[in-house]
Amino acid sequence: MPLGNVWSFPAPDVPYDITLGAMKSLAGKIVSLTRGFTEYAHPLDVNRTLEPEYVKAAAEVTRELQLSLPVPKLCTLVTASPVDAALHDAFGKLHGRSSYAICGKEFVRYDLSHYLNQEFRGEYLDQYIASKPVPRIRMYHSVGASDALTHGDLNKLIGDGLPETLEEWIPYNGITAIKIKLNGSDLAWDVDRVAAIDRVTTLAQAKRGFTGWVYSLDFNERCPNVQYLLDFERGLKSKAPTAFDLVQYIEQPTARDLASNRQNTMFEAARLRPIVIDESLTGLDTLLLAREMGYTGVALKACKGQSGSLLMAAAAQKYRMFRCVQDLTCPGAALVHAVGIAAHVPGTSALEANAREYVPARQCRMGQEISRHIYRQRWLDEDGRLERPGARNELIAPHTAAISRRIFSTRVGHYSVLDSPCEIEVLIKARL
């Protein structure tokens, strides 16, 4: 899992190397704390016991490095997430089952009220998490604010053999969902940008003979207030009504610190489209606060921890909130982890996966290792979607870089999902 300090520890006045160094220092403390835990327990219980200690360790790092800003809880979750994932992985291996299939009463000492609140009394995680994955997951392709839509937008070609414009990416990957990054400080530009993307997408999809694509909108916390969001929604609905109709959800429009911005309630905006928290979501307390403020959805992320992601998935279902899964530009095995969460949380709308765009070389190198053991039946169906792997006797072992690239540059609009006792290493080990 990447140490995403820019995302999890935003500090404009603190040098990049300082916040990265803080995460590395915290990682060392987290490893020591985890090694000191010697009880036999389900990973949910290990995490419940150790997470407060991790937060204390983050405070120690702040003091020791004399940071001008405290290490945020989100940063602590990201730093601890590989350890938490490894614990779930190991527990699954211990029992010879998928880690998603060992979270019921048979394996977990306490019901969900122990981890969440009394509304979950008598309930267990297996009531909210599927033991078997869905066959396919819709994949979101990201379009940044400066990304080229057509060749006319290009100032210089990269020439690495990958698409360089949206109109090229759509047929290359069979794109069926597009995440649009927006400015949040220029209303006219934001509306025009979505309208322009919709025009390019409509033409490209028409050439493929495909209908049924969707958009999500991400302001990256940059909207100054909810009124800006309302004005944007109304402006887009007026200028490009078809594009507005295709918006599946809007992600984190205003600042992540909800408690300090309680005036930005989302009730009116959420009546038009689901409004999802991402950076704000660090536990049940923030989820409940978001609901009080009118948010109607959650973005789950493997980088916040397997335990937390599964518990927030249960809470989101309990409270009938919209659910999606995001990544943190996760290549290779980290991406597989994110896909696993999306595939086991019922009602997940889609999965964002942008490593194939932003770190394609890394994705391809890891793909060569991971693809050595992969179950599948055929490459692509007629819609350009990767089918679910077939039966045991359909195991193949592709070794070539070309095949690896085909899997992990993902010439598909959906990700295939494999089920394994070891979900974190599911494509590396590939044991059904």
The per-residue pLDDT for range 43-66, each reduced to its tens digit, is 999 999 999 999 999 999 999 999
Q: Higher pLDDT residue, 361 or 154?
A: 154
Average pLDDT over residues 349-353: 89
Average pLDDT over residues 134-147: 92
pLDDT at 403 over 90: no
The token duo for 306 is 């397997």
DSSP string, 320-366: T-EEEEE-SS--HHHHHHHHHHHHHSTT---EE--HHHHSHHHHHHH
Q: What per-residue confidence (pLDDT) applies to 261?
A: 87
Q: Give the type of residue at 99.
A: S
Q: Which of 278, 260, 300, 169 is nearest to 217 (CA)?
A: 278
Average pLDDT over residues 176-205: 97
pLDDT band at 366 (very low <50, low <70, confident <90, very high): low
pLDDT at 364 over 90: no
The per-residue pLDDT for range 370-380, each reduced to its tens digit, is 544 332 322 33
Q: What per-residue confidence (pLDDT) applies to 187?
A: 98
Q: Which residue has the tokens 């039946």?
A: 377
Q: What per-residue confidence (pLDDT) applies to 328?
A: 80
Average pLDDT over residues 320-344: 89
C-alpha span between 361 and 29 (Å, rounded): 32
Exposure string for 404-426, b = 16+ CB within 10 A, e = fewer = bbbbbbbbbbbbbbbbbbbbbbb
Q: What per-residue confidence (pLDDT) applies to 405?
A: 29
β partners of residue 258: none
* Sign of the alpha-carbon torsion through 46, 47, 53, 58: positive
Q: What per-residue confidence (pLDDT) applies to 301?
A: 95
The per-residue pLDDT for range 204-226, each reduced to its tens digit, is 999 999 999 999 999 999 999 99
Average pLDDT over residues 177-186: 96
The per-residue pLDDT for range 306-324, each reduced to its tens digit, is 999 999 999 999 999 999 9
pLDDT band at 245 (very low <50, low <70, confident <90, very high): very high
pLDDT at 365 over 70: no
Mean pLDDT of the chain: 85
Long-range contacts of residues 54-61, Cβ cutoff 8 Å, at least 24 apart:
54/26, 54/29, 54/30, 54/79, 54/80, 57/26, 57/29, 57/30, 57/33, 58/26, 60/29, 61/22, 61/25, 61/26, 61/29
pLDDT band at 283 (very low <50, low <70, confident <90, very high): very high
Structural contact between residues 303 and 4, judged by C-beta atoms closer than 8 angstroms: yes
Alpha carbon of residue 238 to chain centroid: 31
Q: What per-residue confidence (pLDDT) applies to 367?
A: 55
* Low-confidence winner among 41-55, 216-230, 321-335, 355-369 (lowest mean pLDDT): 355-369
Share of the chain above pLDDT 90, in %: 74
* Low-confidence winner among 10-19, 147-156, 386-395, 406-415 (lowest mean pLDDT): 386-395
pLDDT at 12 over 60: yes
The per-residue pLDDT for range 284-297, each reduced to its tens digit, is 999 999 999 999 99
Q: Which of 338, 253, 325 is nearest to 290 (CA)?
A: 253
pLDDT band at 277 (very low <50, low <70, confident <90, very high): very high
pLDDT band at 353 (very low <50, low <70, confident <90, very high): confident
The per-residue pLDDT for range 413-431, each reduced to its tens digit, is 444 443 332 222 223 222 2
pLDDT band at 135 (very low <50, low <70, confident <90, very high): confident
Q: Which domains does the chain have, with CATH numbers?
A: 5-95 (no CATH), 136-429 (3.20.20.120)
